[in-house]
Amino acid sequence: MTRLRLLFLTGMALAVLSAQSSSTPYGSNPAAGQTFTHDGVKLYYEVYGTNGEPLLVIHPNGTSIAAMKPQIEHFRKRFHVIAMDTRDHGRSGDSTGPLTYEKMTADQVALLDHLKIPSANVLGWSDGGIQALLLGMKYPSRVKKIAATGANLNPSSSAIYPETIAMVKEMLSSIPAADRDKPATKRVIRTTELMLAQPHIDASSLAAIQAPALIMAGDHDLIRDQHTVEIFHRIPNSQLAIFPGSTHAVSYDSPVLFNATVEHFLTTPFVKLDRVKDALKTFDAIAQGK
């Protein structure tokens, strides 16, 4: 096992262990857990908090609701937080056909329908960020604001660093042949292969996103910096946050900074800035001693 794969798997394990040690067992909480069926797949979800606007929280590839523990813990105090294990993940069932981000996104809309929620804010990490963007593109009326970290539009080296792709390929090749037919292993293979084959989102289609969007990444993310910046520029009403000294896992590693950034975005009216006029306003105020 290479160091890259060890680090990746260790990070996923820490997410689960932390959730288990929490006073609230996110991802396996009988008091909050429910299921419903969409597209022939039984989907597991949990709901926290009764005050404030709905906030749909979407976890990354290969994890579950548990990976979003720092966000659920924080935002449940001010929002109505909804989190679901995406199909082929956690306690949710497996796809009967090919796994796609479009199907996973449709599941999120079905969850909102099931809960009778007309529209929600959306916070997604990695694969969750991809789904957040697809929600804004394909279901604009269902989205209030989007906060996406570590999202990508395609699986090529133009969007993802080569070492990231190498890590994912090694994860697949290192699976023993004797284990490949086991149900749990098939699920790992299916979800891991997803990262090498998808998504395929035309950057120009991001212009269809009407909701204000906060596009985020770590300065040492698995996604190329320029790709994150392109996503930011392609969305009409967007803001950009690159977290210093952070990786693809900034939401888990630095939750105080991350959550504060997202909360400010969600709770502050969005204003589309003019880079010249708005800067001059401040300089004029300084000149006037304000």
pLDDT digits (tens, 9 = 90+) for 229-273: 999 999 999 999 999 999 999 999 999 999 999 999 999 999 999
What distance in Å separates the CA atoms of residue 256 and residue 278, rounded to the nearest whole number?
29
pLDDT band at 23 (very low <50, low <70, confident <90, very high): confident
What distance in Å separates the CA atoms of residue 221 and residue 228, rounded to the nearest whole number?
10
Return the pLDDT at 288. 94
Domains of the chain, each with CATH number or no CATH: 3-287 (3.40.50.1820)
Return the pLDDT at 16. 42
**55 and 266 in contact (C-beta within 8 Å)?**
yes
The alpha carbon torsion through 28, 39, 191, 142 (nearest 10 deg) reads -80
What distance in Å separates the CA atoms of residue 52 and residue 68, rounded to the nearest whole number?
19
Q: 206: burial class by Cβ within 10 Å (0-12, 13-18, 19+)?
A: buried
Q: What is the pLDDT of residues 94-109, one digit of tens each?
A: 998 999 999 999 999 9
Share of the chain above pLDDT 90, in %: 91
Task: Answer whether the bond into residue 199 is a cis peptide, omega within 30°.
Answer: yes
> Does residue 3 have a pLDDT over 90?
no
Instruction: Kindly report the pTM of this predicted structure.
Output: 0.92
Instruction: Quickly list H helices, the chain.
Output: 3-21, 69-75, 101-114, 127-138, 162-173, 183-197, 225-234, 250-253, 255-267, 277-287
> Does residue 11 have a pLDDT over 60?
no
Mean pLDDT score of the chain, rounded to an integer? 93
